[in-house]
């Protein structure tokens, strides 16, 4: 074990040394002008702390400072991982809840190391603003490092209100959060095109031009839509291989996990999708698709036909992060015609049906069923089309850059004395390019809520984190939504820093006359609304066509 640690540290030292001496390509940019640490730190949330981190008595440009900060972030991530591993080597000293939280931290910090290595490669190669999609790739990864770190801290706080582990990790977590935030701020200043960087209430980009109105497929992409049998995958979708899962033994595999294990590792997009067709059935499996299982496509026989189900919950000892029936972190994941379900019930509180941290992932004609915390859109860029989402408290939550389009959102009957909050968006830093955009969707009561006696309050969302960002565009909002629209989290927390907006919605619950008067809430115009569309918010024109999932890029 000691020799393995020595090898890792040696590789890290060599990598950092090479990074430090790398000569990036030159380009003309105002950010190449030398500035003092004090000047560059004014671009960040933590200017005083930033000045203590940057080299003293040096004058560099934004790019040099940015590279230094990403290198420091990577180094600190390795140090934090070593600290977490130290505790996990002594499991007998840990409570079950603390051990579970530390395992989440271990997993999330491993992802951060990958994201920071990739980000460092990008910033080392360029001394100028990057093309939009390339800039967004790294922007998304640096945003995700903050999200992952926050998830680690949230888990530790929930596991124990006090204790040695929490006390020992709290200071590194706080300092690393500041470091990641400063790194992200300087990255957006140097490498992200100015037209993509929004004000502090915006999610990281402004209108890039006229968005495409529609994306039309050459032919129907998926023959299994709406319950029909799988016939063909459209010409625009590249497929490398396909296997079938059937519980009766007539396919290649009888379980979804076995089919995923057989998929190739680290495929490139150019190689096409490995398609898993899961025939109708109830699959009682906990599925976690690792990051190396890239470009998987899972197709079922339809909503309520192919069902993946579990019942893990926080009440039964799982962390929220690991309560998911189905979890995916592999980039390029696509799911079609599948129901993802958590049957723990409202009484078990947080119980996730699907957790998604997969970049450039898409879900088409799927259903997500649970109560509290049903759909965890954890991080990176995501798209959901023609999906059904059921839940009660904060049932669409997380800190991805995500668009829901043409979806049905069904608040359910909660427990006594509970209210429904559809969204709980978790943006913790104004430079993150994250948020929830709900476009051309329908918000109606589920059957159990519609038939219940008494008044259950339902809100469009509430601010989980300081810079929570959620927009409803051109959607139908039924009368179940409270006239105030939105709910506070705790007192006046985040009410001036959040960004909640509505645009051109319809239905009896869409009237904004009596909405909250928070400074962070607004009814927006066409230009601002266009910022939250598929083409502009998640740059969907660059990656959605290859998935075969239909979408429209702009406003309708």
pLDDT tens-place string over residues 354-384 = 999 999 999 999 999 999 999 999 999 999 9
Sheet with 458-461: strands ordered across? 287-289, 326-328, 354-356, 375-377, 393-398, 420-425, 458-461
Annotated catalytic residue within 104, 154, 359, 394: 394
CB neighbour burial string for 279-289, b if at least 16 within 10 angstroms, e if fewer: bbbebeebbbb
Sheet with 476-477: strands ordered across? 281-283, 306-310, 339-342, 367-369, 388-391, 408-411, 442-443, 476-477
Of 275, 383, 299, 394, whose CA–CA distance to 346 is shortest? 394
Q: Cα separation of 31 and 127, whole Å? A: 9
* Mean per-residue pLDDT of the chain: 89
Report the 10 Å Cβ neighbour count for 516. 19
Q: In the prediction, which pLDDT does 162 show?
A: 62
- CA atoms within 13 A of residue 96's CA, in its CB half-sphere: 6
Q: In the prediction, which pLDDT does 129 show?
A: 92
Q: In the prediction, which pLDDT does 452 show?
A: 86
For residue 217, pLDDT beyond 50: no
Average pLDDT on 308-329 reads 97
Q: Which of 13-22, 50-59, 425-434 has the lowest mean pLDDT?
A: 13-22
Phi-psi region of 20 (alpha: psi -120 to 50; beta: other; left: phi over 0): alpha
DSSP string, 195-222: GG---TTS-S----SPPPS-B--SS-SB
Assign 147 to helix, strand or coil: helix
pLDDT in tens, 501-547: 999 999 999 999 999 999 999 999 999 999 999 999 999 999 999 99
pLDDT in tens, 30-49: 567 888 898 999 999 999 99
- CA atoms within 13 A of residue 234's CA, in its CB half-sphere: 17
For residue 163, pLDDT beyond 80: no
Q: In the prediction, which pLDDT does 196 show?
A: 56
pLDDT in tens, 69-89: 999 999 999 999 999 999 999
CA 35 to chain centroid: 34
Sheet with 521-523: strands ordered across? 239-245, 273-278, 296-299, 334-336, 361-364, 381-385, 401-405, 435-439, 469-473, 499-503, 521-523
Residue in the block written with tokens 């998935």:
547
Whole-angstrom CA distances from 297 to 140, 304, 528 are: 22, 19, 34
Q: Check if 394 is active-site.
A: yes
Q: In the prediction, which pLDDT does 119 show?
A: 98
Q: Cα separation of 553 and 177, whole Å? A: 34
Dihedral of CA atoms 520, 146, 545, 530 in degrees, nearest 10, equals 20
Q: Cα separation of 54 and 50, whole Å? A: 6
Contact assessment for residue 487 and residue 462, using Cβ atoms and an 8 Å cutoff: yes
Confidence grade of residue 453 (pLDDT, cut at 50, 70, 90): low
pLDDT in tens, 491-505: 999 999 999 999 999
For residue 226, pLDDT beyond 50: no
Of 539, 534, 556, whose CA–CA distance to 475 is shortest? 556
Q: In the prediction, which pLDDT does 31 show?
A: 63
């Amino acid at each position: 074990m000691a020799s393995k640690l020595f090898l890792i540290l040696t590789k890290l030292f060599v990598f950092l040394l090479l990074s430090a001496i790398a000569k990036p390509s030159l380009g003309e940019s105002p950010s190449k002008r030398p500035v003092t640490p004090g000047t560059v730190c004014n671009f960040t949330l933590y200017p005083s702390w930033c000045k203590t981190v940057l080299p003293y008595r040096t004058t560099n440009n934004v790019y040099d400072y940015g590279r230094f900060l990403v290198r420091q972030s990577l180094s600190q991530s390795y140090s934090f991982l070593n600290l977490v591993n130290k505790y996990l080597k002594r499991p007998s000293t840990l409570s079950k809840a603390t051990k579970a939280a530390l395992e989440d931290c271990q997993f999330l910090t491993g992802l951060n190391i990958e994201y920071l290595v990739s980000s460092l490669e990008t910033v080392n190669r360029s001394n100028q603003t990057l093309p939009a999609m390339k800039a967004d790739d790294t922007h998304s990864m640096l945003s995700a490092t903050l999200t992952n770190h926050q998830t680690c801290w949230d888990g530790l706080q929930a596991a124990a209100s006090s204790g040695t582990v929490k006390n020992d990790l709290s200071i590194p977590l706080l300092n690393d959060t500041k470091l990641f935030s400063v790194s992200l701020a300087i990255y957006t200043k140097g490498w992200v095109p100015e037209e993509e960087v929004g004000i502090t209430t915006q999610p990281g980009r402004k209108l890039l031009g006229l968005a495409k109105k529609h994306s039309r497929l050459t032919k129907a992409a998926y023959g299994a839509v709406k319950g029909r049998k799988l016939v063909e995958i459209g010409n625009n979708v590249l497929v490398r291989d396909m296997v079938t899962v059937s519980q009766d033994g007539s396919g290649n595999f009888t379980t979804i996990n076995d089919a995923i294990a057989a998929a190739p590792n680290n495929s490139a997009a150019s190689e096409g999708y490995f398609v898993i067709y899961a025939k109708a059935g109830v699959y009682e499996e906990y599925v976690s698709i690792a990051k190396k299982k890239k470009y998987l496509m899972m197709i079922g026989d339809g909503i309520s036909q192919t069902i993946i189900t579990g019942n893990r919950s926080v009440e039964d000892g799982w962390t929220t992060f690991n309560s998911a029936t189905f979890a995916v972190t592999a980039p390029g994941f696509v799911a079609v015609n599948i129901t993802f379900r958590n049957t723990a019930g409202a009484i078990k509180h947080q119980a996730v049906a699907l957790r998604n941290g997969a970049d450039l992932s898409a879900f088409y004609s799927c259903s997500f069923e649970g109560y509290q915390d049903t759909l965890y859109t954890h991080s990176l860029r995501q798209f959901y089309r023609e999906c059904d989402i059921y839940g009660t408290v904060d049932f669409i939550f997380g800190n991805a850059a995500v668009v829901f389009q043409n979806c049905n959102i069904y608040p359910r009957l909660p427990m006594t004395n509970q209210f429904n909050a559809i969204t709980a968006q978790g943006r913790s830093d104004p430079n993150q390019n994250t948020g929830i955009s709900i476009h051309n969707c329908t918000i109606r009561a589920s059957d159990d809520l519609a038939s219940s006696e008494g008044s259950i309050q339902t809100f469009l969302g509430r601010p989980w984190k300081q810079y929570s960002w959620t927009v409803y565009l051109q959607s139908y909002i039924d009368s179940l939504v409270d006239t105030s629209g939105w709910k506070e989290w705790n007192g006046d927390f985040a009410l001036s820093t959040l960004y909640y907006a509505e645009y051109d919605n319809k239905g009896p619950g869409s009237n904004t006359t009596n909405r909250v008067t928070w400074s962070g809430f607004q009814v927006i115009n066409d230009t601002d609304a266009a910022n939250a569309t598929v083409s502009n918010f998640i740059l969907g024109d660059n990656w959605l066509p290859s998935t075969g999932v239909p979408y429209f890029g702009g406003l309708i």
